[in-house]
Amino acid sequence: MDIGTGASCIYPLLGCAQRPWSFIATGTSESLLSMPYLDLAHALADIDPESLKCAKRNVEINDLSSRVNVVARSTGSSLIPLDELALDSIDFTMTNPPFYRSEEELLSSAKRKQRPPYTACTGSKAEMVTPGGELAFVVCILKESCVLRARIQWYSAMFGFLSNLVDFIEQLRSSGIENYAVTEFVQGNKTRRWAIAWSFQPMRPAQHVARGTRSALSKNILPCVTEAEVMSVEIPESIGEFASKITAAIESLDLISWDWDTQAYEGTGRAVDKVWARPWRRRKKREQQTPDERTESSISKSDPRCIFGFKVWIRVSMKEVLVGCRWTEGFDAKAFESFQGFLQSTAAAAANVK
- Average pLDDT score, the chain: 83
Is residue 252 included in any domain, yes or no?
Answer: yes
One DSSP character per residue, 63-116 reads: T-TTTEEEEE--TTS-SS-TTTTT-S-EEEEB-----BSSHHHHHHHHHH-SS-
Least confident window among 122-136, 153-167, 318-332: 122-136
Based on the fold, state whether residues 206 and 232 are members of the same structural domain: no
Domain CATH number, residue 149 = 3.40.50.150
Based on the fold, state whether residues 34 and 164 are members of the same structural domain: yes
Q: What is the mean pLDDT of residues 242-262?
A: 96
- Percent of the chain scored above 70 by pLDDT? 78
- At 320-335, the pLDDT tens digits run 999 999 999 999 999 9
Q: What is the mean pLDDT of residues 308-325?
A: 96
33 three-class SS = helix
Judged against a pLDDT cut of 50, whether residue 124 lies above it is answered with no
Based on the fold, state whether residues 111 and 191 are members of the same structural domain: yes
Which range of residues forms the domain containing residue 250?
227-350
CB 89 within 8 A of CB 40: no
Is residue 16 included in any domain, yes or no?
Answer: yes
Q: How many domains does the chain have?
A: 2
Judged against a pLDDT cut of 50, whether residue 29 lies above it is answered with no
DSSP assigned state of 180: E
Based on the fold, state whether residues 214 and 245 are members of the same structural domain: no
